[in-house]
């Protein structure tokens, strides 16, 4: 874990009471519901906080679960991976506001982007909406006042790099 992350975790921990910390401590690292899997970092070793940064990592993530549609964060960049039953995999960077069919005959790994601390050069909040009825996915971008958010990061005494990241989207 990088020093900035440790510092933010310590800052946050100091602002939570015992009940809030206990609640967070009791949360599972992964959840599966209705054919969908959810994790923060990955599904193969979620407590290790390893990033999914390649197609190889994505395949590893998909092979660690039976879920057909898997959603993870941690990377802060929008991306979509798929794995066919034949073992063939693919990936692409989605275009905002374009509906993408994600049929269940393949496994799909969705990295929806980030509402804060983006890493793809665009400071706008990024999120994805999954329609369970049509099995389609749509990524969206929403501008927000990232300048004020960056100022608040600095005022809190957190690392300037984190404030800069909000402004630059990197």
For position 73, which CATH number holds?
3.60.21.10
Please tell me the total count of domains within the chain: 1
User: Which pTM does this prediction carry?
Assistant: 0.91
Output the CA–CA distances (angstroms, integers) from residue 61 to 12, 34, 38, 57, 157, in the order listed: 29, 18, 11, 6, 36
What's the pLDDT score for residue 43? 97
Residue 24 lies in a domain: no
**How many other C-beta atoms are found inside a 10 Å radius of the C-beta of residue 81?**
23
**Residue 9 maps to a domain:** no
pLDDT of residue 168: 85
Query: Which residues of the chain carry a pLDDT beneath 50?
Result: 1
pLDDT value of residue 126: 94
Q: What is the pLDDT of residue 3?
A: 87
The answer to whether residue 138 sits within a structural domain is: yes
Give kind and range of the element (H or E) at residue 60.
Answer: helix 55-63
Domain of residue 157: give its range: 29-168
pLDDT in tens, 76-126: 899 999 999 999 999 999 999 999 999 999 999 999 998 878 888 889 999
Count CB-CB contacts under 10 A for residue 117. 15
In a domain, 17, yes or no: no
């Amino acid at each position: 874990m990088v020093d900035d992350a440790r510092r933010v975790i310590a800052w946050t921990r100091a602002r939570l009471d015992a009940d809030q910390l206990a609640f967070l401590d009791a949360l599972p690292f992964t959840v599966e519901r209705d054919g969908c899997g959810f994790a923060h970092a990955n599904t193969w070793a979620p407590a290790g906080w390893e990033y999914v940064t390649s197609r190889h990592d994505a395949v590893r993530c998909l092979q660690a679960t039976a879920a057909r549609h898997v959603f993870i964060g941690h990377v802060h960049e929008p991306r979509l991976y798929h794995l066919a039953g034949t073992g063939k995999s693919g990936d692409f960077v989605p275009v905002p506001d374009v509906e993408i069919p994600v049929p269940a005959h393949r496994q799909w790994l969705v990295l929806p982007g980030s509402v804060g601390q983006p890493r793809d050069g665009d400071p706008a909040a990024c999120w994805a909406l999954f329609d369970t009825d049509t099995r389609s996915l749509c990524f969206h971008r929403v501008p927000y006042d990232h300048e004020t958010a960056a100022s608040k990061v600095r005022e809190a005494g957190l690392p300037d790099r984190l404030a800069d990241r909000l402004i630059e989207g990197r």
